[in-house]
């Protein structure tokens, strides 16, 4: 008997699912807290809870994670330098302060417009190499000619030894600025993904599993581990992609919408007839538009571990994830008493980082570039929970809110605070951790909001449920402003939104919101068995998919039948016969797919290849002005 193992490492929990391949039945599941900065312990505990009976017969391991997404959403990715080659508009906001714009680039046919300034790139690389963990390079029309990006990459690697990501390696779509952002985010995620994937593979091998290892992509497909390490940007939103595929599998619905409540975010997506709906645009993450193909998704930066804080009797929801009070009390002995005796900050100082329920602890990450004030603040924070009052006692001043924010973004400290998870503990609707700590937090913050603890917790839960309902409606009503849709749910009225698509709920605490969603939305609401591990299940239910996009254009519009250029991720090729160019493009696409599937460990006999051709032929032309080929291969993980 053969089995498959699915693993999902979220911002809060790491889940494991064991599936029997012969009938696709879930045999057992495991759940453990995700551990920082090294996820190994969380992965190990989740797998341990499956038992050892079946592990020796596991032949496929598939992994999904939200760690990459959360790094971008929370602004805690590693520092990266950006090299822009060509006529970029640097008046736009850039995602890093370490950047340079130099001469170079190509035109739409891949012809060099100006020689690349390698000297300036080398000088820049030397000046920032000790301040960053990787470089990203993007050149104008690099999708039509890679030469300048590759030259820059070679020079930077030789000088610094640091990883370098090029825009053309990640996308063949036009849009130089978006490719630059995509390359930047990919470079930012390399350390996160390398650590995660190497940890997974090492743990699997140590248990004697002779298994192929795959990673879920943000389009709902899977790739081999080596490809995942080269392009970690493709793992952004792999968690939501896993929840979509997993929810459909668990609910036995080929068409459904999914609400996935995680620790950092709540995600909405939809699948029709077994195929995830894809976004027409590149994935947008952390406010940055990328050129990464992803499922269509509505993401709210509010999850079960989002920070709740109070000032001036107003309750605020902060997108950044914190450790809930209830969990901190279970993890750190003595924290409950520390919480009870923590002094109330003065009204003047009260704010997002100064709350009676806010604590900080060190993560263990190495500091790359911090200010003197940040270094002093960091020295006063222990590996266990530390209040701002304790920081004051140690350095004789209160740390600035900006300094605390910066240390969090740099992953040097982690915050503890009151969360929606704590609110559910107060209400008795989710009681996995220390309820007394949650209640203590509700009393402290409730007093600031002039509310009783139970009413305070109920208000948070209700707001969370309204946001969930508004997000699902907003997903289907794209042209209606989100703010207007959200405002409707604050009105007492017998009117209800009706959806003909079933809604499947996935995520640890989501069972507490079933009744609320049913009251606000007229639809079939499904809470499937094993809803707590939907993402890990989705990692197993996904297929291996490889898309290759190839473009054929005349070299000259004045003489469109004389020469034809073929553009692909492999580079630019030239032919004097259109049909020869077309045959080359088809053969190239099929070769790329078969090599990809082979590298991923999939059986070539089980791969299906489909070719879609779109042509633009102006009146009077004998050959196309443009031919776009989309060649797609699909295969199952276990070859069934």
Find the range with the poorest average confidence among 10-14, 279-283, 490-494. 279-283
- pLDDT the model gives residue 105: 84
Which pTM value belongs to this model? 0.69
List the chain domain ranges: 1-301+526-541, 306-456, 543-635
Quote the pLDDT of residue 53.
86
For residues 397-419, average pLDDT: 91
pLDDT number for residue 492: 84
User: How confident is the prediction for the chain on average, in pLDDT?
Assistant: 83
* C-beta of residue 102 within 8 angstroms of C-beta of residue 85: yes
Give CA–CA dist 18/437, Å, rounded: 34
The angle formed by the CA atoms of residues 525, 327 and 424, to the nearest 5 degrees, is: 35
If you average pLDDT over residues 202-212, what whole number do you get?
84
What digits encode the pLDDT tens for the residues 579-612? 999 999 999 988 888 877 776 666 666 678 888 8
Q: Identify any residues that bridge with 102 across adjacent strands, giving them in sequence order.
A: 85
Residue 232 pLDDT class (50, 70, 90 cuts): low
* Tokens 């400290």 sit on residue: 413
* Between residues 389 and 319, the one the model is more confident about: 389
pLDDT value at position 227?
Answer: 66
Supply the DSSP string of 386-429, one letter for each residue.
B-HHHHHHHHSSPPPHHHHHHHHHTTSEEEEEB-HHHHHHHHTS
> What is the per-residue pLDDT for 353?
92
CA 477, 482, 483, 485 torsion: positive or negative?
Answer: positive
Query: Is the predicted pLDDT of residue 298 greater than 90, yes or no?
Result: no
Residue-level pLDDT at 93: 66
State residue 244's pLDDT score. Answer: 81
How far is 514 from 459, CA to CA, in rounded Å? Answer: 17
The first and second tokens of residue 425, run together, are 């503990």
Q: Angle at CA 504, nearest 5°, toward 499 and 509?
A: 125
Tell me, rounded to whole angstroms, the distance of Cα 37 from its chain centroid: 17
The residue-averaged pLDDT of 391-406 equals 92
Per-residue pLDDT at 75: 54
Q: Angle at which helices 453-476 and 435-448 pack, to 10 degrees?
A: 90
For residue 414, the model assigns a pLDDT of 92
Please tell me which residue, 366 or 398, carries the higher pLDDT value.
Answer: 398
Query: What pLDDT, in 10s, does the model give residues 38-63?
Result: 778 888 999 999 888 888 888 888 88
Residue closest to 135 by CA, chosen among 123, 148, 119, 152:
152
Distances (CA, A) of 117 to 83, 120, 122, 135: 11, 6, 9, 16
Here the tokens at position 155 are 């020079």
Segment 182-205, tens digit of pLDDT = 777 777 766 667 777 777 888 888
Between CA 177 and CA 180, with CA 179 as vertex, the angle to 5 degrees is: 65
Q: Are 139 and 111 in contact (CB under 8 A)?
A: no
pLDDT digits (tens, 9 = 90+) for 146-176: 889 899 999 999 989 888 888 877 666 666 6
Question: Is pLDDT above 50 for 474?
Answer: yes
Q: Which carries the bigger pLDDT value, residue 467 or residue 35?
A: 467
Predicted confidence at residue 286, as pLDDT, reads 47
H or E stretch at 443:
helix 435-448
pLDDT of residue 223: 66
Determine the pLDDT at residue 70. 56
Question: Contact, 359 vs 336, CB < 8 A?
Answer: no
Alpha helices per DSSP H over 490-620 = 514-520, 534-541, 578-599
Distance CA 406, CA 517 (A): 37
Strand pairing category for 256-261 and 503-506: parallel
Q: Which of 71, 57, 63, 72 is nearest to 22 (CA)?
A: 57
Residue with tokens 């009503």: 477
User: Distance of CA 391 to CAs 344, 388, 394, Å?
Assistant: 15, 5, 5
Reported as a single tens digit per residue, the pLDDT across 375-392 is 999 999 988 999 999 999
């Amino acid at each position: 008997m053969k089995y498959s193992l699915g693993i999902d490492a979220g911002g809060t929990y790491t889940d494991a699912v064991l599936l029997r391949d012969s009938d696709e039945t879930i045999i057992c599941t495991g759940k453990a807290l995700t551990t920082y900065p090294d996820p190994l312990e969380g992965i190990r505990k989740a797998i341990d809870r499956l038992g050892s009976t079946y592990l020796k017969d596991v032949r496929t391991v598939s992994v999904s994670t939200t760690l990459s997404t959360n790094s971008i959403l929370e602004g805690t990715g590693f520092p990266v330098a950006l090299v822009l080659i060509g006529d970029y508009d640097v008046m736009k906001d850039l995602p890093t302060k370490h950047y340079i714009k130099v001469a170079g680039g190509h035109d739409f046919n891949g012809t060099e417009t100006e020689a690349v300034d390698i000297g300036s790139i080398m000088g820049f690389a030397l000046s920032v190499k000790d301040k960053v963990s990787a470089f990203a390079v993007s050149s104008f029309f690099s999708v039509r000619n890679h030469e300048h990006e590759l030259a820059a990459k070679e020079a930077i690697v030789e000088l610094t030894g640091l990883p370098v990501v090029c825009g053309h390696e990640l996308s063949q779509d036009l849009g130089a600025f978006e490719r630059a952002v995509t390359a930047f985010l990919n470079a930012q995620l390399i350390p996160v993904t390398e650590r995660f994937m190497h940890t997974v593979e090492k743990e699997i091998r140590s248990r004697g599993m002779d298994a192929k290892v795959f990673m879920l992509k943000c389009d709902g497909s899977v790739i081999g581990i080596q490809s995942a390490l080269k392009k970690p940007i493709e793992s952004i939103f792999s968690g939501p992609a896993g929840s979509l595929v997993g929810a459909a599998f668990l609910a036995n619905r080929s068409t459904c919408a999914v609400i996935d409540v995680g620790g950092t975010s709540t995600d909405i997506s939809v699948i029709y007839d077994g195929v995830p709906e894809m976004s027409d645009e590149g994935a947008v993450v952390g406010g940055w538009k990328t050129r990464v193909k992803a499922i269509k998704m509505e993401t709210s930066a509010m999850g079960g571990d989002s920070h709740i804080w109070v000032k001036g009797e107003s309750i605020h929801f902060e997108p950044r994830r914190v450790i809930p009070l209830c969990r901190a009390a279970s993890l750190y002995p003595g924290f409950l008493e520390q919480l009870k005796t923590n002094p109330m900050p003065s009204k003047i100082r009260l704010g997002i980082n100064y709350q009676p329920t806010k604590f900080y602890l060190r993560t263990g990450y190495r500091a790359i570039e911090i200010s003197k004030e940040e270094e002093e603040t960091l020295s006063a924070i222990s590996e266990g929970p530390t209040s701002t009052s304790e920081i004051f006692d140690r350095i004789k001043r209160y740390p600035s809110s900006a300094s605390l924010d910066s240390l969090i973004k740099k992953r040097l400290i982690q915050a503890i605070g009151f969360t929606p998870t704590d609110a559910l503990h107060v209400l008795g609707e989710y009681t996995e951790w220390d309820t007394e700590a949650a209640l203590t937090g509700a009393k402290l913050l409730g007093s600031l909001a002039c509310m009783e603890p139970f009413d305070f917790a109920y208000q948070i839960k209700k707001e969370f449920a309204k946001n969930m309902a508004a997000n699902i409606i907003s997903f289907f009503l794209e042209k209606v402003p989100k703010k207007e849709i959200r405002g409707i749910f604050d009105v007492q009225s017998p009117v209800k939104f009706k959806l003909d698509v079933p809604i499947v709920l996935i995520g640890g605490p989501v069972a507490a919101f079933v009744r609320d969603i049913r009251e606000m939305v007229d639809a079939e609401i499904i809470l499937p068995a094993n809803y707590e591990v939907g993402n890990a299940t989705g990692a197993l239910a996904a297929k291996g998919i490889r898309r290759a996009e190839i473009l054929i254009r005349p070299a000259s519009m004045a003489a469109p039948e004389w020469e034809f250029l073929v553009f692909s991720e492999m580079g630019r090729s030239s032919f004097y016969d259109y049909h020869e160019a077309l045959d080359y493009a088809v053969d190239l696409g099929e070769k790329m797919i078969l090599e990809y599937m082979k590298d991923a460990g999939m059986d070539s006999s089980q791969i299906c290849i489909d070719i879609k051709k779109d042509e633009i032929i102006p009146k009077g032309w004998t050959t196309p002005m443009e031919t776009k080929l989309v060649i797609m291969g699909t295969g199952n993980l276990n070859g069934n």
